[in-house]
Amino acid sequence: MNPYQGQPRYLHNIGFSNSAPQSFGNPMPMPGFPTMGYPAPQPGYPNTGSGYPQQTQGYPQQSQGYPQQSQGYPQQTQGYPQSQGYAQPSSGYPSQGYPQPNSAQGYPPAQGYPPAQGYQPAQSVPTQQGYPQSSSYQQSNQYQGYPQSTVQSHQAYSVTSSPEHEPKSKPTVVPVNPFDPREDAAILRKAMKGFGTDEKSIIQVLTRRSNEQRLRIAFEFKTLYGKELVSDLKSETSGKFEDLLVALMTPLPQFYAKELHDATAGIGTDEDVLIEVMCTMSNHEINVIKQAYTAIYGTLLEDDLRGDTSGNFKRLMTSLCMGNRSEDFHVDQGKAREDARSLLQAGELRLGTDESVFNAVLCSRSFPQLAAIFQEYQFLTGHDIDDAIKAEFSGDLEKAMRAIVKVVRNKPLFFAERLHKSMKGLGTNDRQLIRIMVTRCEVDLGDIADMFQSKYGETLQSWIEGDCSGHYKKCLLGLLGLY
């Protein structure tokens, strides 16, 4: 069975949101000047010193007696005076033992806590934070701030199953907390000082920090010792191990920009690199990479791509370079059917192929909308859109369009195939291996490793151990969290 057929998986991983790797917040090529690096305050709590709402006393103040008459109790001409009524709870707790007026839906919301932690009587089970409150596709990404959709899916199949049952993204490198960049800088300095090099310490520090934290360490290293960390690493290491460490110490936008530049510079073009980067990035990531590219090389990424490619593949790269894909989660099933018919009429139902229709649909529709279009296409024709692309196109254009289809359906599987291709046969495409390991370790490398084992029956770890050696191998395993 084709692993790309069926329901799309890993919706959180296929570029729907406009989020980007952390260091994408610093697009300019200024190594040593990271904008962030320390862990942000934990969300969901007021900004108080202890992290919890301030409470001067553990219980509501009861120094004034019984409730005031303004709270809805019948006035009493005899009995206790009004001035001795209970005070309203000052810290958000409901009154003890006395029902409040106009509170048919339960207790009033706590005044000192975030709304997400308030009492929700309408639900029998508290909703987990960060997950949608509905099993329908239309609300599956409600927590990311996109509008809810009211369009139900067509026929008997839905766009996707409930994301509540989908696994979360599994990065293998996460920001360390607590984080002390000066202590890490001192460890690296000690590992490279004097005769010999402590490669184990270098690997354990750099593979257990996020890209942004590594930039902060480099900043502190230069502050403390007046030397460039990258220069010291280059002087103490060599070969593929050095290449991997330099990649780890490069801000991600600059790293992608360098990969794209090297793919188009000189004689010939590495179209596989262009396809891997341009077909998988979100709008925000593409725009930040374009800024970094211009700052480093003084030319526009679009101009270099157009100058080094040709034909319909050039048009596809130009469209993707615009970074203008729809990122709306609303799925319009009617438009999905129209686009599926348009693709059918532009390809299989005519002599020749109208490439512009495929270009327009694949480069401008959102990923959820594309998933619906692909399902409608199969409903109309009885076969998969991937088969139609293979029959209608060839060469680099075919590879790029099929890459978009694969990314829409299962992004981790797409990168698992790329990793397998980099290591199979004689020799190793180390540049491709390093690029995927470095750029995906903070996103979904755990998912990629799972897909690798599921498709090929062997673990990614075993392939790396069999294809690489020395400290280079240990550093790659460190990015997998296995060293």
For the chain, the structural domain boundaries read 181-236
- How many CA atoms, within 13 angstroms, populate the side-chain half-sphere of residue 359? 17
| Radius of gyration for the alpha carbons in the chain, expressed in angstroms and rounded | 28
Neighbouring residues of 155: CB distance < 8 A, sequence distance ≥ 6: 379
Determine the Cα–Cα distance for residues 189 and 355; give it in Å rounded to an integer: 56
Instruction: Please report the pLDDT score of residue 2 as a whole number.
Output: 65
User: Tokens 């990314």 — which residue?
Assistant: 407
**Cα 339 from chain centre:** 28
Q: Do the beta carbons of residue 293 and residue 301 sit within 8 Å?
A: yes
For Cα atoms 229, 231, 235, give the angle at the middle one, nearest 5 degrees. Answer: 115
Neighbouring residues of 217: CB distance < 8 A, sequence distance ≥ 6: 181, 184, 185, 188, 205, 209, 229
Q: Do the beta carbons of residue 221 and residue 189 sit within 8 Å?
A: yes
Count, residues in the chain:
483
Q: How many other CB atoms sit within 10 Å of the CB of residue 298?
A: 7
How does pLDDT run along the chain (483 residues), one tens digit per residue?
566 765 554 443 333 333 444 456 544 444 444 444 444 444 444 444 444 444 444 444 444 444 444 444 444 444 444 444 444 444 444 444 444 444 344 444 444 444 444 444 444 434 344 434 433 333 333 333 333 333 333 333 333 333 333 457 899 999 999 999 999 999 999 999 988 899 999 999 999 999 999 999 999 999 999 999 999 999 999 999 999 999 999 999 999 999 999 999 988 889 999 999 999 999 999 999 999 999 999 999 999 999 999 999 999 999 999 999 999 999 999 999 999 999 999 999 999 899 999 999 999 999 999 999 999 999 999 999 999 999 999 999 999 999 999 999 999 999 999 999 999 988 899 999 999 999 999 999 999 999 999 999 999 999 999 999 999 999 999 999 998
Helices 311-321 and 301-308 pack at an angle, to 10 degrees, of: 170
Question: From residue 323, how far is each of 148, 203, 258, 347, 372 by CA, in Å?
Answer: 23, 35, 18, 26, 21
For Cα atoms 333, 337, 341, give the angle at the middle one, nearest 5 degrees. Answer: 165
Architecture of domain 181-236: Orthogonal Bundle (1.10)
pTM over 0.75: no
Phi-psi region of 220 (alpha: psi -120 to 50; beta: other; left: phi over 0): alpha
Determine the Cα–Cα distance for residues 175 and 201; give it in Å rounded to an integer: 18
